[in-house]
Structure 1
Amino acid sequence: MSRPQRRNILITGASSGLGAGMAREFAARGRNLALAARRVERLEELRAELLAAHPGITVSVRALDVNEHDDVFTVFREFDEELGGLDRVIVNAGLGKGQPLGTGYFRANVQTANTNFLGALAQSEAALELMRPRGRGHVVLISSMSALRGMPRNLTTYAASKAAVASLGEGMRADLADTDISVSTIFPGYIRSEINEKVKKVPFIVDTETGCRALAAAIEKEPSKAYVPGWPWIPLGYAMKVLPLSVIRKMA
């Protein structure tokens, strides 16, 4: 049985990095896009780029801070009406801030936890409020390979927030198992983006274009879970679940 083609795709955090990269990939596949982010001027630039390259598609943009939860519901409904129904929502907006706990940076850690988890919760709620009455759709949660284990130093809060996102996705899949609404949790490995551009020595990192091409290909298959890119993150994903913490802490 072939999967339905998702024509109208919403991507949050689309002004840069993985969000913008995925927008380029899906535009090349002829999909209509709803792009949201805080930096609307960047979205306008991206919209112009995509329409110039793919004039047959529709690209709608809105300013959105996913920490403003009421705005999430409003913007999602506006996109849904404008495009004639959203088929897929990619919950991508997130933060990579963080410092070791107990070092005086609680504010940064709280901001990361709020954006990455509560923001994802708001987006998931807003998406499913649109999809449940129709009984169809695809929600994609962008987690992280760091979600598989507790991570040290600057990654502690980030990894915990992404683990919460992964758990949210699994709960949604359990709840929606008897419907035609798919829920995919994607665990990206190291893909170069604004969130890690200042980090120089990163093992197995791939460039943004390569990483986003792999992300789009994985999302199109609508898996329950996917480690992306597959190599080396599929075998590493299984290893990370059983390796001693003394080894895990060296991966951060």
Structure 2
Amino acid sequence: MTRQKILITGASSGLGAGMARAFAARGRDLALCARRVDRLDELKAELSRRHPNITVAVAALDVNDHDQVPKVFAELSDELGGIDRIIVNAGIGKGAVLGSGKLWANKATIETNLVSALVQTETALEMFKAAGAGHLVLISSVLGNKGVPGVKAAYAASKAGVTSLGESLRAEYASGPIRVTVVEPGYIESEMTGKSNTTMLMVDNETGVRHMVNAIERESGRAVVPGWPWIPLVALLKVLPPRFTKPFA
């Protein structure tokens, strides 16, 4: 099934913008939202120039403004004439060592990555139930499979919550009509990973996004991407004693 009309949150940069480019190249119509409207406008102009036959709608949205999520989703749906797939992608990578006195950073990560993902998920499900079908995609992380020490502790916890939420929904809608996919990217070049100073097994944005989009298009239930080397590494990560997970932090 071709999901022609796709909504992506956090689409102004990184993986969100990368997915927008990849889906535009496949001829899909896009609803893109993020806080930074200037970047969305630039992306819309780029995509419209490269792919003049698609429709691109953009809207400002801070996913932490929970009352705005259903309003913006509805407006974008009206502009595109419906939404077939919603990709819950917006997230941040702030963090500090737990107990270091920087609660604000860890709290912001949990609120943006998990609580706001829940709000987007609830909104998406209501829309898909009204439409009779749809594809919900939750962007998690390989770090959702194991707690890690240091500054990524809250981030790993937030993504573990996203993965668990997705798994619950996969069970809830095992027979349809709503499809649910949980994508767990490894380290892919983006604005977020650039700030983290992580270079271990990093792949470029285009390569990483290609693997993500392929998994989304297959409507895989759960996908670790890129598969190599992250599928075996995730299997290893799950069984490692906590004290040995520091290299992933």
TM-score, normalising length: structure 2: 0.98
Tell me how far 1:44 sits from its aligned partner: 0.2
Match of 2:183 among 176, 181, 186: 186
Measure, in 1, the Cα distance between the counterparts of 2:155 and 2:108: 10
2:232 aligns to what?
A: 235
2:7 aligns to what?
A: 10
2:91 aligns to what?
A: 94
* Shift in CA distance, 73/201, structure 1 to aligned 2, threshold 3 Å: closer
Contact in 2 for aligned 1:69/1:119 (Cα 8 Å): yes
Match of 1:33 among 27, 30, 45: 30
1:249 aligns to what?
A: 246
2:199 aligns to what?
A: 202
1:70-116 CA-partner distances (Å, limit 9, x unpaired) = 10000111111111110000000001000011101001111110000
Tell me how far 1:211 sits from its aligned partner: 0.9
How is 1:1-252 mapped onto 2 (pairs within 5 angstroms)? 4-252=1-249
Contact in 2 for aligned 1:135/1:179 (Cα 8 Å): no
Q: Name the SS for the 1:133 alignment partner.
A: helix
* Shift in CA distance, 161/16, structure 1 to aligned 2, threshold 3 Å: same
Tell me how far 1:200 sits from its aligned partner: 4.1
Q: Name the SS for the 1:107 alignment partner.
A: helix
Measure, in 1, the Cα distance between the counterparts of 2:241 and 2:199: 21
The share of aligned pairs that are identical, in percent, is: 57
Measure, in 1, the Cα distance between the counterparts of 2:110 and 2:248: 21
Measure, in 2, the Cα distance between the counterparts of 1:186 and 1:127: 17
Measure, in 2, the Cα distance between the counterparts of 1:179 and 1:244: 38
Tell me how far 1:248 sits from its aligned partner: 1.3
- Quote the RMSD (CA, aligned, Å): 1.0
Measure, in 2, the Cα distance between the counterparts of 1:233 and 1:103: 31
Measure, in 2, the Cα distance between the counterparts of 1:38 and 1:98: 20
Q: What residue ranges of structure 1 are gaps of 5+ in the alignment?
A: none
Tell me how far 1:201 sits from its aligned partner: 4.9
**Amino acid in the other structure paired with 1:235:** P
**Amino acid in the other structure paired with 2:29:** N
Measure, in 1, the Cα distance between the counterparts of 2:15 and 2:182: 15
Contact in 2 for aligned 1:15/1:36 (Cα 8 Å): yes
Measure, in 2, the Cα distance between the counterparts of 1:39 and 1:97: 18
